[in-house]
Chain A
Amino acid sequence: MSTQNVRVTGSGADPSQDVSELERRLVDRIDADVMDPHIPVSLVEMGMIYDVRYDDGDVTVDMTYPCMGCPAYQMIQEDVTHCLLSVEEVEDVEIEVVWDPVWSKDRLDEDVQRKLRESGTAI
């Protein structure tokens, strides 16, 4: 999953809606700073970030989890929040956990699958 593919799915996001330059930068920031704590890829690469919306200082992130019982459930949300609050234009971050569409391995592109295999993760 590349940063270019965020806001391409459900959960209320309009696939035809343009993503602003700032929103793209916020997705890039998550991609650079927030890693999945279990494997060496970012949340964006894992396809866990569905949408990032910016409105006058307020950012809303729609994200999901591959595993509903993720032990890092809260920690990951705090990592995303802290990461985005470090961007000058951002004043507040709200995380919305969504399950529609359900995450699947189809969201991993070939490069990410290779990284996972090299780290010993079965996919």
Chain B
Amino acid sequence: MSDGWPPEAVDYVQAIADTKLMLSHWYAEQAFIGPNIQDNIALFSLTQDEYGQVRQFFLQLEGQGLDGDRLRSDREREEFHNAATTDEPAPDWTRFEVRFGLTDRAAHLMFDAIVHDDFAGLTEKMSEEEYSHFDFHDGWLEHLADAEPEAFRAALAESLPDVLTFIGPAAYDDDTDPLVTAGFTDRSAAELRGAFLDHLEGIVEGTAVTVPDPDPVALEEWDERRRRVAGGGIGADVLDSIRGTGNEEFAVR
């Protein structure tokens, strides 16, 4: 596909970009507190990757007429279309990995499905970078599912519905997903959900954790722009942090 984007595609790419922006934020925050120095270093690297990818997604959105300055620094909280799993920090390491590791995986599946010519090479490069993310996250997720099955189960029950809602409703198949029918992606939300759940099954295989029955996400309740079913969003303190409000006096003009 080489012509203009359908409106749903702009929303789709912004949701991926905003989710990655929040992943970058939480990775950076966690990078100061462990669980150990090797993970700190890895998390800083993940932060840098995510932020670099956000920069390119925002440039693509600018190409579709969105205001770049607004995307980068002038938005209000309700204008962020990040996955609900990335609204708040994770209170412990198990929930950090389940929330953000699985959201990172979902975002990759979503951008990897884009086949529009504007993303030629771009998503391939991002996928190269994501390889190290999955090395890191999947290793931890497999370990935590085995070592702390109860905490892992609880974290999964808390986060899985929001991750699947971010990917999209199960009712969107090859014939009904507007992104597929417009030729912007080559895999429907239903197919991406299936791929995500297959991957998750592989992670918990051989442990005491089982994957809960997935919520199909009711199409009539689903907010296509924000890719969630309920309201909510990032807090005012998080917005200040993303904007760098507290550091404005140090900015080079």
Contacts and interface: CB of A to CB of B under 8 A. Distances in A.
Interface of A: 10, 67-71, 73, 97-103
5 contacts: A67-B48, A69-B49, A71-B48, A99-B121, A100-B121
A123 B126 CA distance: 20
A97 to B, nearest CB: 8
Interface stretch (B51-59, B75-83, B90-98, B160-168): B51-59
Nearest to A10: B121
Contact of B121 (A67, A70, A73, A98): A98
Interface in B64-89: none
A71 B52 CA distance: 9
Interface of B: 48-53, 55-56, 59, 120-122, 124-126, 128-129
SS class, residues of chain B in contact with chain A: helix
A63 to B, nearest CB: 13
B120 A100 contact: yes
SS class, residues of chain A in contact with chain B: loop
A67 B122 contact: no
B121 A68 contact: no
Given A68-B56, A73-B55, A102 B50 contact: no
B22 to A, nearest CB: 16
A67 B45 CA distance: 11
Nearest to B56: A68
Contacts of A101: 121
A43 to B, nearest CB: 17
Contacts of A98: 121
Contacts of B52: 67-70, 73
A102 B48 contact: no
B141 to A, nearest CB: 23
A98 B124 CA distance: 12
A71 B128 CA distance: 18
Nearest to B52: A69
B126 A68 contact: yes
B122 A99 contact: yes
B52 to A, nearest CB: 3
Contacts of A102: 121, 124-125, 128
Given A10-B121, A73-B52, 4 more contacts: A68-B126, A69-B49, A69-B129, A97-B59
Contacts of B50: 69
- Chain B CB within 10 Å — which of A67, A68, A73, A100 has the most? A68
A68 B129 CA distance: 8
B69 to A, nearest CB: 15
A101 to B, nearest CB: 6
A73 B54 CA distance: 13
- Chain A CB within 10 Å — which of B49, B53, B125, B129 has the most? B125
A99 B60 CA distance: 13
Nearest to A98: B121
